[in-house]
Structure 1
Amino acid sequence: MKRILIADDHPVVRLGLHSILSRDPRFHVVGEAADPGQLEEWLANAPCDLVITDLSMPWGRRPDGVRMLAGLRRDYPELPLLVVTTFGNEEVLRAVLKLGVSGILEKTSGLPALIEAVDAALRGGCYLPPELAHRLRRREKCGARLTARESEVVRLLAHGLGVKEIADVHRRTVSTISRQKGTAMKRLGLTSDFELMVYARAVGLSPSGG
């Protein structure tokens, strides 16, 4: 029986994943985490064969997003990581794939896709929905693009965190975060925080795109 750990800041999502996976006798959910800190605590105390994690869990004391995944890859290089998210931002998703995760699954996917993704991850493969794989493979169109780090800052701002909060969580200086925010706005031709939030919603970096 394969041991699975679930991490998501939405209780309904955790409950749904737990319920679906528990129906399959091959799987056993060993725990649930609501933020990156809880996820690290579970991993330190409960061995598992697969982590299914949300990308965005911004309310904990530890970094989420790409930095969280990078830390997991560093500390548990052999542990398969399946990312379940609704983010559509291609720069962030490409950065996630470069970390060597075992797949990205959209939260709107059906039961067959979830089981297929879990099976692929446990076999050592990498699962991507066909439409997402096509989007990430296609040649980028011309136009303004944010770096993955800039997208991370915009995502956290869209979730309501301030510049100082982001700096504290990610252990960067306030000036660094402010500079990344300013660079992102200049690159996109935006002049206000309101315009930045509109952009975040449009590209899937807002809370509604969690």
Structure 2
Amino acid sequence: MTVPGQRRATDQVRIVLVDDHAIVRHGLRSVLEREDDLDVVGEAATAAEALTVVADAEPHIVLLDLKLSTGDNTEGLELCGELTGRHPDLGVLVLTTFLDGGLVVDAIHRGARGYVVKDVDTTELVRSIRAVARRESSFDSRSAAAMVESMNAPTAEPRLTERELIVLRQLAHGLSNRDIGTKLFISETTVKFHVRNIMRKLTATSRAEAVYEASKLHLI
């Protein structure tokens, strides 16, 4: 018997690839479609494209790179949060070149179910995709070790991302979420996501308290 909301073992796993390099997407498609149960149903090179493709294709899994432009190295983190916020049942598996415990933890906080580095072998990648499709978590050995090391590190000042620091500075100027979104060319939903993360990392219960705690730490 199949439990409602769960996939049967024989179901096709529908996958969308999000990476700014076409040759990487084509290589991944070629590898994954050799597997009878894996079906690549869409590709995207940017965050905006990804939001549209995922809404249209309704995949089970998004294979997501963190770097989607020549700018911010963690643009994919923002996209991860927006995708999981819009599609709670979606499984996001981060596939990236960046191996950093803090990034792994941030990806989990944004709803990712797994994290693997791009030089992982094909067998391990396919295993991770199938695990995430079963609503399990999956991390390659190095990502898991980096995450544990990061979580066990002595507590220092909060680690805010570059984009969170930018949003924090706008908070300090008293801007609303809508105004911040307009100024930074991001959605109001994304701004709210950043503000929640800022407050969590600064253990603040209000925007004003977050600004106050940040000022004490000389973050602004």
Do they superpose with TM above 0.5? Answer: yes
Which of 51, 72, 84 in structure 1 is aligned with 2:62? 51
Q: Runs (4+) of structure 1 moved beyond 4 Å?
A: 141-145, 151-154
Which of 14, 27, 33 in structure 2 is aligned with 1:16? 27
Task: Name the amino acid aligned to 1:28.
Answer: D
Residue 146 in 1 paired to residue 162 in 2? no
Once the two structures are superposed, what CA deviation does each residue of 1:134-159 show, in whole Å capped at 9, x if it has no partner? Answer: 22112215777732x237779xxxxx
In the alignment, the residues of structure 1 paired with residue 68 and residue 90 of structure 2 have an alpha-carbon distance, to the nearest angstrom, of 20
Shift of 1:108: 0.8
Q: Which runs of 5+ in 2 are unaligned?
A: 1-11, 167-182, 192-214
Hey, what does 2:8 align to over in structure 1?
A: none
Task: Name the amino acid aligned to 2:59.
Answer: C
Shift of 1:93: 2.0
In the alignment, the residues of structure 2 paired with residue 109 and residue 6 of structure 1 have an alpha-carbon distance, to the nearest angstrom, of 16
Which of 57, 74, 89 in structure 2 is aligned with 1:78? 89
Relative contact order, higher structure (CA 8 A, sep 6+): 1
In the alignment, the residues of structure 2 paired with residue 91 and residue 71 of structure 1 have an alpha-carbon distance, to the nearest angstrom, of 19
Matched-pair contact (CA < 8 Å) for 1:85–1:107: yes
Once the two structures are superposed, what CA deviation does each residue of 1:157-201 show, in whole Å capped at 9, x if it has no partner? Answer: xxxxxxxxxx634467xxxxxxxxxx9xx87xxxxxxxxxxxxxx
In the alignment, the residues of structure 1 paired with residue 115 and residue 126 of structure 2 have an alpha-carbon distance, to the nearest angstrom, of 13
Aligned residues: 167
Hey, what does 1:91 align to over in structure 2?
A: 102
Matched-pair contact (CA < 8 Å) for 2:101–2:143: no
Matched-pair contact (CA < 8 Å) for 1:8–1:54: yes
Shift of 1:88: 2.2
Task: Name the amino acid aligned to 1:105.
Answer: V
Residue 26 in 1 paired to residue 37 in 2? yes
Shift of 1:91: 2.0
Task: Name the amino acid aligned to 2:102.
Answer: E
Shift of 1:70: 0.9
Percent identical pairs in the alignment equals 26
Calculate the TM-score normalised by the size of structure 2. 0.65
